[in-house]
Amino acid sequence: MSLLVTVAEPTIIDARWFWDGIFVALKALLTIWWVFPLMLIPMIPDIVLRLWEIRMYAKAGLPEIDRMTGRQFEEWLARFFRGRGYDVTLTPEQGDYGADLILKKGPVTTVVQAKRWSGKVRVSAIQEITAAKGYYRADGAMVVTNSFFTKEAVELARRNNIMLWNRNKLKDEILAEQAKKAAARNQASAKRVAVKPVGKPVVRPPTSSHTGQRAVCHQSSHVAATISKTDRWHRET
C-alpha cells in the first residue's frame, strides 16, 4: 500500500500589492495622527501625580528604606521616634510577642510592629499587634510599613483601634519631621544673627603729626587773610 503525499505550492505575493498596502496604511495613519495626542490627554494628570509621588518618595528616603532588612527598618524607626521625643525600646528579634518597638512618652505606652514589606501587609500583622497591645498593657498600638495594607487589614485595624502607617503616611511623617528640623535650624541661625554684637566706632586721639598739620593750615589761612586785608587797604587809599 502506497501513500500519496501532495505538497502545496508556495503562494507568491505580488510585491506591488504589498507596497500598495503599506502605502494605504501609512496614509490612514497620517490622516488620523491628531487622534493619538487626544488619547493621551486624560492620562496627563495621572502621569504628573505619579511623577510627583516618585519625587516625594525619593526626598523622604523611601528608596533607601526599601533596601533595608527587617531589623534595619526597626532600628531606623527607633531613631526616628527618638527624634520625636519618645523613649524607645527595641524588643528581641525572637519572642517579641508581636511588637518590634515599645514607645513611651509620659504615661502613654505604644507598641509598634514594623513591616519592611514588598507586598501588601495582611490581617496577621493586625492580629499580632493587637495581641502585643494586651501583653505589654499598652495604651495604643500601630503598624508601620513601607508598603500598603490589604482591605481586610484596614478593616480589622479600624475595629481594634490600631493606627496604620502605610507608605504614603510614612512619607508624610518623614517630610513633616524634615521640615520641622529645617525650620528649627533657620530659627537658630536667625537668633545668632540678631544677637551678634555690633562694634562701636573707634575714636582715635589726634597724633602729633595731625596737630602740626592743623596748626600749619591755621597759620597759612591767617597769613592769607592778612595779605588780602592789606591789598584792600592799599586800593582804597
Tens-digit pLDDT profile for residues 80-94 = 999 999 999 999 988
Residue 1 lies in a domain: no
pLDDT tens for residues 164-207?
Answer: 999 999 999 999 999 998 988 888 888 777 666 555 555 565 55
Residue 205 or 216, more confident? 205
CB proximity list for 66: less than 8 A, separation 6 or greater: 116, 118, 146
Write the CATH number for 156: 3.40.1350.10
The range of the structural domain enclosing residue 86 comes to 62-176
Residue 168 lies in a domain: yes
Residue 81 lies in a domain: yes
Instruction: Determine which helix (DSSP H) or strand (DSSP E) holds 29, and give its type and residue range.
Output: helix 15-31
Q: How far is CA 12 from CA 8, 104, 132, 155, in A?
A: 12, 83, 77, 66
Residue 6 lies in a domain: no
pLDDT at 204: 62
Q: What is the mean pLDDT of the chain?
A: 81
Kindly indicate the confidence band of residue 213, based on its pLDDT and cuts at 50, 70 and 90: low
Residue 160 lies in a domain: yes
CB proximity list for 86: less than 8 A, separation 6 or greater: 103, 104, 105
Residue 95 is given by DSSP the state S
Q: Which of 19-23, 151-155, 181-185, 193-197 has the lowest mean pLDDT?
A: 193-197
In sequence order, the β-bridge partners of residue 110 are: 103, 140
Residue 30 lies in a domain: no
Residue 26 lies in a domain: no
Residue 103 lies in a domain: yes
Rounded average pLDDT over 50-69: 91
Q: Which residue has the cell 510599613?
A: 145
Total tally of structural domains belonging to the chain: 1
pTM of the shown model:
0.64
CB proximity list for 102: less than 8 A, separation 6 or greater: 88, 89, 91, 109, 110, 111, 112, 136, 138
Kindly indicate the confidence band of residue 216, based on its pLDDT and cuts at 50, 70 and 90: very low
